[in-house]
Structure 1
Amino acid sequence: MTDTAPGTASIEDFLKLDIRVGTVVRAEDFPEARKPAIRLWIDFGGELGTRKSSAQITAHYTPDALIGRQVLAVVNFPPRQIGPMRSEVLTLGVSDGMGEIVLMAPDQAVPDGSRLH
């Protein structure tokens, strides 16, 4: 798989993104999605609370295995309609050697709602 390099971004562009850590509190298969996906409910704590996301991560994850796992997500994009679900955050991941998504997460527990710097 080849990725297209994006154009140059400024530090101001990066600072516009609000990327936070949250804990998956609920996960279920999302059969209505066009591509295989899992619905996630992610608790970002305090002011943000629990937000929904759809993630195409079925190659490496099952819903049950995601419960309690911390993930990173962009929390300030506008909501997006994915089939019958309104996705409120963009859960972040990277492609493995086969193009399947691997979730991004801190390597040790941090408070939910912690911001990426």
Structure 2
Amino acid sequence: MLPKRNSGAEAELGMANWVCTSFSSIYEPIRKAGGGAYYLLEDGFFRNPNYASVPEIRMVESVKPELLGLERREDMYGLVNELEKLRFLKEPQEFEEFFGEVFEKN
């Protein structure tokens, strides 16, 4: 079993996060456990045995970004000039149509 780099794609994985200005990461528990709760390997997901209890993995379909005023494949870094489009991060209650769809599918 070998780790997968970018499941289902030949291109290198690009990754980034949107976070609130008051956000700070707490990595110590993850470091102590030797990584995340699951690893994606060539044979599928492998549960990290260093966690006493973890929920089962669930797969959800992606939702419609246009409900947030976003477009698929839109460069997220360009949004720093359009912060209003990221309002859903701080005020999710204002976007029930979007988040309701996410929770209805589960």
TM normalised by structure 2 equals 0.23
Instruction: Say which structure is richer in strand.
Output: 1
Instruction: Say which structure is richer in helix.
Output: 2
- Tell me: higher relative CO, structure 1 or 2? Use CA pairs within 8 A at least 6 residues apart: 1
Structure number, greater radius of gyration: 2
TM normalised by structure 1 equals 0.22
